[in-house]
Amino acid sequence: MNTWHIIATNRMDDVALESKETTESAVREKALQLSRLCPHAIIVVRDYDENERCAYEGGMEIEL
């Protein structure tokens, strides 16, 4: 089973958050919700090969 990863970062430190989502759409939705709850952190979604796929800040998608 391929598992997606959600990372919270302040551009200096990374904190890996647990994610048991197996689809990109589910993990993107969870990351978006987290970015609304933690507006000062950048929430990054990485795939199962550790490639960064998207990022959110303050409830909005941002450029990687």
Query: Tens digits of per-residue pLDDT, 42-60?
Result: 999 998 888 999 999 999 9
pLDDT of res. 53: 92
The 3-state DSSP class for residue 20 equals: coil
Give the predicted TM-score (pTM) of the model: 0.84
3-state secondary structure of 31: helix
What whole-number distance in Å separates Cα of residue 47 and Cα of residue 22? Answer: 10
pLDDT at residue 20 tops 80? no
> For residue 36, what are its two tokens?
């609304």
